[in-house]
Amino acid sequence: MATPVVRQFGGARRRLIEELQQKGISDISVLRAFDEVPRHIFVPTGVQHRAYEDSPLPIGNGQTISQPWVHARYLELLGLTGSERVLEIGTGSGFQTALLSRLAGQVFSIERIPALAEEARLALKQCEIG
């Protein structure tokens, strides 16, 4: 059963998944990861209403969270099988980390900006990741 955090914005998340499919994303495991990971948790509250748009959003400290299609395309190209150990350089918001956690066996992520690292840690914890 989905947690309240995952259920929130459920309709918007499904519309985003449909949009990703229309733009050519067909890997079921990648689409499932997008359904399971609540992007709104990984963006500042001031832009949460835009979390499921296919666009980059500011996350503070002069950084952005990439547009969902970019995440989906590179994950699809990686072709992860679930047994990999992945090193992510630049955690940012933690959204990519969360997606990777659904697709790889183990994920290691580092972030050089302390404020972003802490926000990502909190978001991942809220999503019961890590």
Check 26, 66, 93, 101 and give the catalytic one.
66
Residue 66 annotated in active site: yes
What is d(CA 130, CA 126) in angstroms, rounded to the nearest whole number? 10
Residue with tokens 């495991």: 29
Residues in CB range of 122: below 8 A, 6 or more apart: none
Burial class (CB in 10 A: 0-12, 13-18, 19+), 2: exposed
As annotated, the active-site residues are: 66
